[in-house]
Structure 1
Amino acid sequence: MSHINDGCTIMFGGFGGIGTPPTIIKAILESGKKDFTLIGNDTGFPTIGIGPLVAEGRVRRIITSHIGSNPIAGKLMTEGKLEVEFCPQGTLAERIRAGGVGLSGVLLDVGLNTVVEKGKAIIEVNGNRCMIETALTADVSIVYAQKSDTYGNLVYDKSARNTNPLVAMAGDVTFVEVEEIVEKGSINPEEVVTPGCFVDGVIQGEGVYWKWVWE
């Protein structure tokens, strides 16, 4: 957990807590680290997903599509204790994807002539107005997958996949929690969604050790 420090930016996979790594979240809570900037789809629930980090006041700022499932997040926001940057869900996913593939930003028309446009650079492309939405990256990405081999190649389970493949690419370092770790060569290459080159460390869910994929 040495990469997760006070004030760092953490990007997380998950949708309403599904696909957010619970064992890694628990380790962050136990570390006592705080003042995080979070990037992810939502704030989970008070006791589910990324929610406990928010509920314990460990988060200074979050870039997200909504916070409605976590009333504590709403309370902290209205009290001025949590800065929230709302971003339409599709736009958020595209900004994360852009960060993962090395782009500086993307051109979108979603939110033009609304509050979303405030403060954004506007350009014209082929006669159409577009906003420049900046790409998103993080100091650390935390991801949940169904299976990993010892190189870090990842397989996801149905809807628990959600934003995890995008998040895995957009962190300076990426840690993954999985249900099962298998040997190299055990996963059919056609099943791999996230190649191991994006993964720095893997932990088996509810495990007590980190299994570094480069060892």
Structure 2
Amino acid sequence: MTVCDSIDTALAGIEDGATILAGGFGIVGIPERLIEGLRDKGVRELTVISNNCGVDDWGLGLLLRNRQIRKMVASYVGENKEFERQLLARDIEVELVPQGTLAERIRAGGAGIPAFYTPAGVGTPLEEGREVRVFDGRPYLLERGLTADFALVKAWRADRLGNLVYRRTARNFNPVMATAGRVTVAEVEEVVDVGGFDPDQVHTPSVYVHRVLAAGEVEKRIERRTVRA
């Protein structure tokens, strides 16, 4: 495991055509600095697996605006109008996956499970071209596990071995994605010495983590701010 001293070092090896798992839910718990680094790196033809594609001016929306993403595997279009526009215009390939199925496909990939059956999507267009089997009188669709060349995740803290602790809602897709990348890069707010946090607090063991980038405090946006009148 390497503690990286720059974004370029953290993203080394990501080239055109790479497949990337990007942690976060909406724009909560996303690896902001790593995504900005991908934008600046200029890599293209990316396949990105993420819950959604950020918003128009933040998160994965930055890569979408630059036309760096060839294909998105996601659960929903969300608040990103440019994503919606490119989807409807067929300017981008999009594989929409039920959210629970997406999480399980990533978990399965990280666990070395090539495929599984789920009732989600039976009787919908998702069934087209898929294997369907009946168990106990109920039909199930075959879904493949998901892995990627790189997993980019966001954690609160890491120690110098690469053990990760997530904070609050950043503990969303990040833990399962960290297991499913051939190279997992964790953006964290703080790197501490080994023993700097209780072992019982560890959410992602270091065996899954290859690189850590200490990004410090970053802007934590929300998609919609709701206040009283």
Aligned-residue RMSD, C-alpha: 1.2
**Larger deviation, residues 48-57 vs 172-181:** 48-57
Which position in structure 2 is the counterpart of 1:63? Answer: 73
What whole-Å deviation, never above 9, does each CA across 1:52-108 have from its counterpart, x for those lacking one? Answer: 111211000010000131110111122221111000101100000000100011210
Which position in structure 1 is the counterpart of 2:213? Answer: 203
The percent of aligned pairs where both chains have the same amino acid is 39
What whole-Å deviation, never above 9, does each CA across 1:89-139 have from its counterpart, x for those lacking one? Answer: 011000000001000112100111111111111112233211111101000
Are 2:50 and 1:50 equivalent residues in the alignment?
A: no
Which of 8, 31, 38 is the aligned partner of 1:28?
Answer: 38
Which position in structure 2 is the counterpart of 1:15? Answer: 25
Which position in structure 2 is the counterpart of 1:87? Answer: 97
Which position in structure 2 is the counterpart of 1:210? Answer: none
Are 2:112 and 1:102 equivalent residues in the alignment?
A: yes
Which position in structure 1 is the counterpart of 2:223? Answer: none
In structure 2, runs of 5+ residues without a counterpart are: 1-10, 218-229
Matching residue's letter, 1:176: A
Secondary structure in 2 aligned to 1:26? helix
In structure 1, C-alpha distance between the alignment counterparts of 2:181 and 2:42, rounded to whole Å? 21
Secondary structure in 1 aligned to 2:71? strand
In structure 1, C-alpha distance between the alignment counterparts of 2:197 and 2:186, rounded to whole Å? 17
Which of 183, 194, 198 is the aligned partner of 1:188?
Answer: 198
In structure 1, runs of 5+ residues without a counterpart are: 208-215
Which position in structure 2 is the counterpart of 1:213? Answer: none
Which position in structure 2 is the counterpart of 1:167? Answer: 177
Which position in structure 1 is the counterpart of 2:167? Answer: 157
**Larger deviation, residues 118-127 vs 79-88:** 118-127
How far the C-alpha of 1:206 sits from its partner, in A, is 5.5
**Larger deviation, residues 198-207 vs 75-84:** 198-207
Matching residue's letter, 1:153: N
In structure 2, C-alpha distance between the alignment counterparts of 1:32 and 1:64, rounded to whole Å? 22
Secondary structure in 2 aligned to 1:45? coil
Q: What is the 5 A alignment of 1:71-150?
A: 71-150=81-160
In structure 1, C-alpha distance between the alignment counterparts of 2:194 and 2:177, rounded to whole Å? 23
Query: With structure 1 as the length reference, what TM-score do the two structures score?
Result: 0.93
Aligned length: 207
What whole-Å deviation, never above 9, does each CA across 1:2-58 have from its counterpart, x for those lacking one? Answer: 221101100011011111111111111111111100001001101222111112110
Secondary structure in 2 aligned to 1:132? strand
Q: Bigger relative contact order, structure 1 or 2, given CA contacts below 8 A and separation 6+?
A: 2
The structure 1 segments of at least 4 consecutive aligned residues displaced by more than 3 Å after TM superposition are none
